[in-house]
Amino acid sequence: MAKHRKGQSTLQFADMPYLVSAGSVVSAQEGDGPLGKHFDMVLEDDKWGEDSFEKAERRMFETSVRIALDKVRFDTNNLHCLLGGDLLNQIVTAGFAARRIKSPFLGLYGACSTMAESMLLGSVLIGGGYADTAACAASSHFSTAERQYRFPLEMGKTDTPTAQHTVTGAGCVLLSSEPMGKDDPFTRIRVEAATIGRVIDLGITDANNMGAAMAPAAADTILTHLNDTGRKAEDFDLIITGDLGWFGAELLTSLCREHELDLSGRHLDCGNLIYPPVVKYGCGGSGCGCSAATLAAHLLNKMEHGDVRRMLFVATGALLSPGTSMQGDTIPGIAHALSLVREDML
Amino acid sequence: MAKHRKGQSTLQFADMPYLVSAGSVVSAQEGDGPLGKHFDMVLEDDKWGEDSFEKAERRMFETSVRIALDKVRFDTNNLHCLLGGDLLNQIVTAGFAARRIKSPFLGLYGACSTMAESMLLGSVLIGGGYADTAACAASSHFSTAERQYRFPLEMGKTDTPTAQHTVTGAGCVLLSSEPMGKDDPFTRIRVEAATIGRVIDLGITDANNMGAAMAPAAADTILTHLNDTGRKAEDFDLIITGDLGWFGAELLTSLCREHELDLSGRHLDCGNLIYPPVVKYGCGGSGCGCSAATLAAHLLNKMEHGDVRRMLFVATGALLSPGTSMQGDTIPGIAHALSLVREDML
């Protein structure tokens, strides 16, 4: 068995990478939400003066990376790798942002699980001694996603009850093999383990019910992680999923209960944290940017301040495309998990 | 500096992963080409009896993985990770194939550079002790790509002179931390180093001239690899690019000459190898499946037999989408490289 592997799917980092910095950019809608004061940048105009929403999104992606690096005065020219992706066809947000960042780039696609996939692979690069720094980023934009996946924005369609609202936001976490200096926004948060998800499909076909499509994958990854590491839910102050929304989070709870895993009191979902629970935002937030921005802006601060000492970050993705839905396919889900821990817990 | 990193962008593997097996599936067009006899499976019908080309492509992807594993009698249940991607929106080919393979899965998108990205990350997982096995795969399909990126198939449009023909093919390479047994199709080929590409854009806007858009990235990655490792072109029996095609390969040669690097006599391009040079195939083959199937079926055999002892495998990708072209963007390119070597050269 590989030296740093445990059980079926879990990687354990002997040289645990540090999360030294993070950057986040969101639109006014997220800025007006409960986490509003935590984001580094809140845009008044979600087109940001660009001539398309797509160009605004890629600028948000790039800016989240630059903010994370600027906080620790780290030059993009020294960055060992940028890893990331987004929801747009051919992940053009990440690709075009990488063109301007100019560092080595690895493009990823895991739908809304992308932030966890990016941090997992960034941790593998650093943990294995292949990089000293990795910027891990993901983004989504309501207006680019809506018109690509669903309907023209001009249509002003009404959401179904289980629909979620795509977050307009980008988040970046800077991983490093060692602390960078006394001004690091985070000084003690490390990646101790990560679980690579499997693709799980329970047969959901409703593209307006992504939470239900992703919940089985989240359950599978959480159960696998606990099984591989011999940990219990109680070992974590927080098990946080990406963007299951209100409906998906309930489904996750009941799926875990079937496997005698009680998440009560320690599970939250980024999609339920980012917006106020009003009809406008349906069943909560979604999109790669949801977990990315929530982690970068809010969750890491909670860890740095000691409110959360060990957290299982489980970003979830629905691996459909408009094409697969049109051809009658069901919606496969995936979830990757990272166990983040404060150094004083080790 | 990270222990296993050299120069700006190159990873060096102390525990070099083995390429133990490979699988390839192509359509009749590739089967009738110069490499025809090397492919594991040649389909008479490029719909393979499925009700869409997309479903045929995902079956080809899955089958290439199963062939690679079957050759060494390796059970998918024991596979530590499947890594891969394809050209379809939201990489649904890879995602849906992964649903059936059921192993841990990491979805990647590097356009036609995906095969190299997949092997690079698979090598990092194995080299770092995070996995014992990694199946690295990529695919493309003429009919799915054509109708997604360009025009409805029914239109029967005529190619421009620089256009390339998307390969209908899938290729998988099985990487392992150690040889599997006496029946391994490959017994001595290892990954010694890899270079992560940067996104390079020289301002090409013609989506029918991908070779020109990708050639600058290929040149950048080759020059970076040689610079990082202190190697010369003469150290390689073969420098093989993914799918630059006839026009892009010429441009690469001249871009390298500007940097006093002479590739003559040791550079080939998978896009130029896979089809006979006839008008029907335009400037050569393209698509993720081009380099994936050529490597899996042909190049690794040449290495195993000693015709090529050290090879730089440089898969190249054009990071555009139909959306970016419509919004007037130029076409960024990327190339990732792996240095593959026969054990007797070490």
Q: Which two tokens stand for residue B195?
A: 């270079």
- A208, pLDDT greater than 90: no
Number of helices and strands (H, E) in chain A?
11, 15
Q: Out of B109, B199, B321, whose CB is closest to A109?
A: B109
Q: What is the pLDDT confidence band of residue A342, given thresholds at 50, 70 and 90?
A: very high
CB atoms within 10 A of CB B276: 9
Query: pLDDT (tens digit, 9 = 90+) per residue, B253-280?
Result: 999 999 999 999 999 999 999 999 888 8
Separation CA B271–CA B294 (nearest Å): 9
The kind and range of the H/E element at A142 are helix A142-145
Q: What is the pLDDT confidence band of residue A277, given thresholds at 50, 70 and 90?
A: confident
Give B111's contacts in chain A (Cβ within 8 Å): 90
Residue A6 Cα, gap to closest chain B Cα (Å)? 9
CB distance A221 to B104 below 8 Å? no
Residue A205 Cα, gap to closest chain B Cα (Å)? 14
Query: pLDDT (tens digit, 9 = 90+) per residue, B287-304?
Result: 999 999 999 999 999 999
Separation CA A88–CA A110 (nearest Å): 12
Classify residue B164 as exposed, middle or buried by CB count within 10 Å of its CB (0-12, 13-18, 19+).
Answer: buried
Give the mean pLDDT of B217-243: 98
Q: Out of A5, A90, A198, whose CB is closest to B320?
A: A90
CB distance A175 to A134 below 8 Å? yes
Give me the pLDDT at residue A335, please: 98
CB atoms within 10 A of CB B148: 18
Residue of B nearest to A117 (CA): B106
Residue A81 Cα, gap to closest chain B Cα (Å)? 8
Q: Which two tokens stand for residue A341?
A: 């821990």
With a CB cutoff of 8 Å and minimum separation 6, the contacts of B276 are B33, B34
Give me the pLDDT at residue B184, please: 93
Number of helices and strands (H, E) in chain B?
11, 15
Q: What is the pLDDT confidence band of residue B8, given thresholds at 50, 70 and 90?
A: confident
Q: Which residues pair with B135 in a beta bridge?
A: B82, B174
Residue B184 Cα, gap to closest chain A Cα (Å)? 20
**Nearest by Cα to B212 from B159, B161, B177, B264:** B161
CB distance A271 to A164 below 8 Å? yes
Residue of B nearest to A13 (CA): B130
Q: What amino acid occupies position A89?
A: N
Give A109's contacts in chain B (Cβ within 8 Å): 85, 90-91, 107-109
Give me the pLDDT at residue B222, please: 98
**Nearest by Cα to B116 from B322, B319, B312, B302:** B312
Question: Across A197-211, B77-91, B143-157, which has the greatest mean pLDDT?
Answer: B77-91
Q: What amino acid occupies position A33?
A: G
Q: Which residues pair with A267 in a beta bridge?
A: A239
- B1, pLDDT greater than 90: no
Q: What is the pLDDT confidence band of residue A216, given thresholds at 50, 70 and 90?
A: very high
Query: pLDDT (tens digit, 9 = 90+) per residue, A264-276?
Result: 999 999 999 999 9
Q: Which residues pair with B195 in a beta bridge?
A: B10, B337
Separation CA B137–CA B118 (nearest Å): 7
Query: pLDDT (tens digit, 9 = 90+) per residue, A82-111?
Result: 999 999 999 999 999 999 999 999 999 999
Give me the pLDDT at residue B207, please: 82
Give me the pLDDT at residue B96, please: 98
Test the A interface: residue of B106, B120, B126, B192 with most A CBs within 10 Å: B106
Contact A105/B199, CB-based, under 8 Å?
yes
Q: Residue B300: CA atoms inside 13 Å, Cβ hemisphere, count?
A: 31
- B156, pLDDT greater than 90: no
Q: Out of A92, A120, A195, whose CB is closest to B319?
A: A92
Q: Which two tokens stand for residue A61?
A: 């992606």
Distance of CA B326 to the CA centre of its chain: 27
Instruction: Fill in the DSSP letter of residue B122.
Output: H
Percent share of chain B, pLDDT over 70: 100
CB distance A28 to A66 below 8 Å? no
Q: What pTM does this model have?
A: 0.98
**Nearest by Cα to B207 from B88, B325, B87:** B325
Give the mean pLDDT of A195-215: 92
The kind and range of the H/E element at A123 are helix A114-127
**Top-confidence residue, A155 or B61:** B61
- What is the residue-averaged pLDDT of chain A? 96
Separation CA A228–CA A177 (nearest Å): 25
Contact B80/A5, CB-based, under 8 Å?
yes
Classify residue A176 as exposed, middle or buried by CB count within 10 Å of its CB (0-12, 13-18, 19+).
Answer: buried
**Nearest by Cα to A198 from A226, A214, A213, A220:** A220
Query: pLDDT (tens digit, 9 = 90+) per residue, A27-52?
Result: 999 999 999 999 999 999 999 999 99
With a CB cutoff of 8 Å and minimum separation 6, the contacts of A211 are A162, A164, A243, A244, A245, A246, A247, A248, A249, A251, A271, A283, A284, A286
For B13-62, the DSSP string reads -SSPPEEEEEEEEEEHHHHTSTTGGG-SEEESSTTTTSSSHHHHHHHHHH
Secondary structure string (H, E, C) spanning A53-121: HHHHHHHHHHHHHHHHHHHCCCCHHHCCCEEEEECCHHHHHHHHHHHHHCCEEEEECECECHHHHHHHH
Separation CA A282–CA B266 (nearest Å): 59
